[in-house]
Amino acid sequence: MTEKADFLAACRDLLGEAYVLTNDADTAPFLTDWRDRFTGKALAVLRPATVEQVAGVLRACAQWQVPVVPQGGNTGLVLGSIPDDAGTAVVLSLARLNGIRALDPVNRTITVDAGCILQTIQEAASAAGCLFPLSLAAEGSCTIGGNLATNAGGTAVLRYGNTRELCLGLEVVTPQGEIWSGMRGLRKDNTGYDLRDLYIGAEGTLGVITGAVMKLYPQPKACITALAAMPTPAHALRLLSLMQDNCGASLTGFELMSQYCLQLVAEQFPQLPRPFAEAHGQYVLLELSSSQSEAHAVELLEASIGAALEDELIADAVVASSVAQSEGLWQLREHIPLAQAQAGKNIKHDISLPISCIADFISVTDAALATAFPGCQLVCFGHLGDGNLHYNVAPPLGMTDRDFLSNQDAINHIVHDQVHGFGGSISAEHGIGALKKADLARYKSPLELQLMRAVKQALDPQNIMNPGKIL
């Protein structure tokens, strides 16, 4: 037997023949990224069902020095869970490791397998009278392990924080096949280095997350949604300050959308609502959650909207009067990525900035791109309340996707240079993966890169964990 055959035979003995996929038809769904931009190759796709099986796979990979690409729901945007085209790596799918292990309503925690679908966790929490607040467009297919590996954000970061802030404990299989159990549902634990924070956001380059203890919160008594229209991002920032001053922690969502974003949604999804008869430069979708009552939330929101109108921060606003209307307004925001995908290819940027700099960044960067690439269309939206913009660039009318994408490096440099100049980050919630690896080296300091490489070398000296990602 060759070494390759020996390795695959060991995997079949461990997992069973049906869960070691090698033919093209079976492996294809695991090898192409969500945006259909790249298709890799794999020696096999391995589908363990238990933590012990994951550990066994990692021991075999260490023995035969086979690279491992961990994968959850494969909804990432930076090629972090897709193998390269060498065909020497295995994809380690956590999809079968998908159970809810425990739910403690008193400690307000839920303990889950890494392959558990985010929406499943939300629904289990709701059934127990609790809230799991992580929410993002891919919640019906993304997994909590992938959310943790990328430190995902979503629409509720303003109030509840990123996935890192929602996690109390982890279970991780090391590259050597050992199981570290840090599944303590503690909110205070100062006993040395915080290993949990080391693995969160590491994109599977240091080990495989197999389980997690996540925080739960009380369900709000009411959630009220409104859509406000205004001329510029600067007006939106002033509205954010007003809402935070008036509403405090009750403000749980604050999403910025440009006019072009809603125009794109209207073109691709004409069945969705059009709240305003006239077009405005910018829109903010905001949500208030009240622990008291719906009447309290409505009173607070209407008073704040009234103050914003009086101060001329906004030109118009609609407040949802029913759950259906609220869902309709949120669908406008959630359909922006889908509308982009249907309209054609675009160059995505997931960036974060000091909130106070966002209006200036948009103004300066819009102008720089218009000069360098006349006619390009800017799809700017995002989580304004936590400083995260999805600043995407679409081709000018009449230009083919292929011709436009040939400018990707130049466009990335313009956008990321401005981000760096404003003291921001080139990745807010999507991660680095393979797509942004060169950009990371361009903007991180030599010392930061040196320290990151030292951590990688210490934990994964064979470099078998997701090689070619981040570093």
Could you give the angle at which helices 51-64 and 3-15 cross, rounded to 10 degrees? Answer: 170
List pLDDT tens digits, range 35-56.
888 999 999 999 999 999 999 9
Instruction: State the Cα–Cα distance between residues 142 and 76, nearest whole angstrom.
Output: 9
71 has pLDDT over 70: yes
Measured at the alpha carbon of residue 123, what is the angle toward residues 171 and 143, in degrees to the nearest 5? 40
Instruction: State the Cα–Cα distance between residues 137 and 224, nearest whole angstrom.
Output: 20
The count of other CB atoms within 10 Å of the CB of residue 417 is 15
Nearest to 433 by CA among 181, 84, 116: 84
Q: Residue 154: what pLDDT?
A: 87
Q: Residue 80: what pLDDT?
A: 94
Q: Which residue has the tokens 């992938």?
A: 146
Instruction: State the Cα–Cα distance between residues 335 and 84, nearest whole angstrom.
Output: 30
Which residues are CB-neighbours of 293 under 8 A, at least 6 positions away?
A: 221, 222
Q: Residue 322: what pLDDT?
A: 87
Proportion of the chain above pLDDT 90, given as a percent: 92
Distance linking the first and last C-alpha atoms of the chain: 34
Q: Residue 36: what pLDDT?
A: 85
CB-count exposure of residue 22 (10 Å: 0-12, 13-18, 19+): middle
List pLDDT tens digits, range 154-212.
889 999 999 999 999 999 999 999 999 999 999 999 999 999 999 999 999 999 999 99
Q: Residue 383: what pLDDT?
A: 94
1 has pLDDT over 70: no
pLDDT grade for 292, boundaries at 50, 70 and 90? confident
List pLDDT tens digits, range 302-323.
999 999 999 999 999 999 988 8
Which residues are CB-neighbours of 121 under 8 A, at least 6 positions away?
A: 100, 110, 112, 132, 134, 144, 214
The count of other CB atoms within 10 Å of the CB of residue 128 is 16
Q: Could you tell me the two tokens for 225?
A: 């949604």
The count of other CB atoms within 10 Å of the CB of residue 24 is 9
Nearest to 93 by CA among 182, 208, 189: 208
Q: Residue 137: what pLDDT?
A: 84
Nearest to 404 by CA among 429, 381, 376, 380: 376
Strands of the sheet with 251-258, listed across from one edge: 316-319, 222-230, 282-290, 251-258, 377-383, 388-394, 350-352
Instruction: State the Cα–Cα distance between residues 356 and 384, nearest whole angstrom.
Output: 10
> Residue length, the chain?
471
CB-count exposure of residue 30 (10 Å: 0-12, 13-18, 19+): buried
Q: What is the phi/psi pair of residue 78, to 5°?
A: -125, 25
Q: Which residue has the tokens 């359909």?
A: 335
| Coil/strand/helix, residue 329 | helix
Instruction: State the Cα–Cα distance between residues 445 and 254, nearest whole angstrom.
Output: 32
Q: What is the phi/psi pair of residue 110, to 5°?
A: -130, 130
User: What value does the mean pLDDT of the chain take?
Assistant: 95
- The residue type at 215: K
Strand partners, 181: 171
Q: Which of 260-269, 309-318, 322-331, 370-379 has the lowest mean pLDDT?
A: 322-331
Parallel, antiparallel or unpaired: strands 377-383 and 388-394? antiparallel
Strand partners, 287: 225, 253
List pLDDT tens digits, range 112-166.
999 999 999 999 999 999 999 999 989 999 999 999 999 999 889 999 999 999 9
What pTM, to 2 d.p., does this model score? Answer: 0.93
Q: Residue 340: what pLDDT?
A: 92
